[in-house]
Amino acid sequence: MPHPPASRPAATPRLHATYRIRARPSEVETAARLLALEQSVELPAEVVRDPYVRDHVVATVESISPCGDELFDAVIGLSVETTGFDPAQTLNMLFGNSSLHTHVELIDVDFPLEFTQRFAGPRFGVAGLRERIGAVGRPLTCAALKPQGLSSEALAELCYTFAVAGIDVIKDDHGLADQRYAPFAERARACQRAVERARSAGSCSVYAPSLVGAPQRLAEQARLVRDEGIGMVLVAPALVGMPAFAELVAEHLQVPVLAHPAYAGAARVAPPLVLGKLFRLFGADAVIFPSYGGRFAYSRDLCRAIAAVSRAPWHHIRPAMPVPAGGMAVERVPELVEFYGNDAMLLIGASLLSAGDDLPVRARGFVEKVRSVAT
């Protein structure tokens, strides 16, 4: 009979993943056991003969509780060792094969200290972001450069207008990449020159270009950010891949990172986990998400949960700043500040741009309204 190597520990810590399973009450225990096997060894229990594998690698069903009509939350204990402390492998162990099962959704994960201590999390977090931008005692303001299709020169002029108005963070629309009409390098340099030009008018704005592409391309873009003295970046972790995102933040960036949620809704993973917890774990200093009352169907409770998870105490991991967005209107600023509090960044796009020639006045009104209603 095989024996474990002498170097193997007697026990390993586990992370506890909560899955929502749709099943008949008489079948849910079997479904949970099969889920635990699928997410650990991909074998029937009777095939596992090695004592170490059976006792320490095979996932365990910790609890099952009803949460609706033929809906149950099952907590599965997964050995931390099986993750290899790698972002890709962690996602694989949490929701690899089981993401193909339409009756299973990944709701949350409780990561033990033995796991989170292997990750740095946000380099700046809420406090560092405030210090870098110079915004104290109020929510931060953010605006987007759009629509894509404008030239680099036109986007830079828009960037200048926002900066003179006093908006804290001016980000690329996430649809801007390296297109012919506004190539990345040309656009990034032009917009950075625009915010620098606005400093003569007292602006402290930072520009965040959108980084997108394969790992080599991301590294090239990060070098340009460094060489041009750009103060922040925008990255969509689900588009570039969370392993590539984690490596980009850890090895190629020294500025705050604003995470965009594009493609993050493409899997059955609960938004507070993927947006509030995983993006933060892998290095996002601020995280954009669709706010209630906009053009997406997120509820107040869901938005409250995302914001809470982003800022909650979590081992050594710094809090990330929630960035509600998605069809927000300037007129809703008092309501949004009351709901999200000061430790948030309000991202408004179309509601500003719809002002046309009155954009400078509208943008400054946004800034003044945020400052006047800060809690």
What does each of the 375 residues of the chain score in pLDDT, given as a tens digit?
344 444 444 568 999 999 999 999 999 999 999 999 999 999 999 999 999 999 999 999 999 999 999 999 999 999 999 999 999 999 999 999 999 899 999 999 999 999 999 999 999 999 999 999 999 999 999 999 999 999 999 999 999 999 999 999 999 999 999 999 999 999 999 999 999 999 998 999 999 999 999 999 999 999 999 999 999 999 999 999 999 999 999 999 999 999 999 999 888 999 999 999 999 999 999 999 999 999 988 999 999 999 999 999 999 999 999 999 999 999 999 999 999 999 999 999 999 999 999 999 999 999 999 999 987
For the domain made up of 14-116, the CATH class stated in words is alpha beta
Looking at residue 266, its pLDDT comes to 81
Tokens 């990060």 appear where? 222
CATH 3.20.20.110 positions along the chain are 125-373
Task: Return the closest-CA partner of residue 58 out of 79, 74, 85.
Answer: 79
Task: Return the closest-CA partner of residue 245 out of 290, 288, 280.
Answer: 280
Tell me the torsion sign for CA atoms 161, 166, 172, 174. negative
CATH 3.20.20.110 fits 125-373, yes or no: yes
Q: Report the alpha-carbon distance of residue 226 to residue 179 in Å, rounded.
A: 21
Find the DSSP H helices in the chain.
Answer: 28-38, 51-52, 87-95, 113-116, 125-133, 152-165, 184-198, 215-228, 237-240, 242-252, 271, 279-281, 300-311, 333-340, 350-353, 359-373
To 5 degrees, how large is the angle CA 48–CA 50–CA 51? 110
Q: How would you class 317 by CB atoms within 10 Å of its CB: exposed for 0-12, middle for 13-18, buried for 19 or more?
A: buried
* Three-class SS state of 36: helix
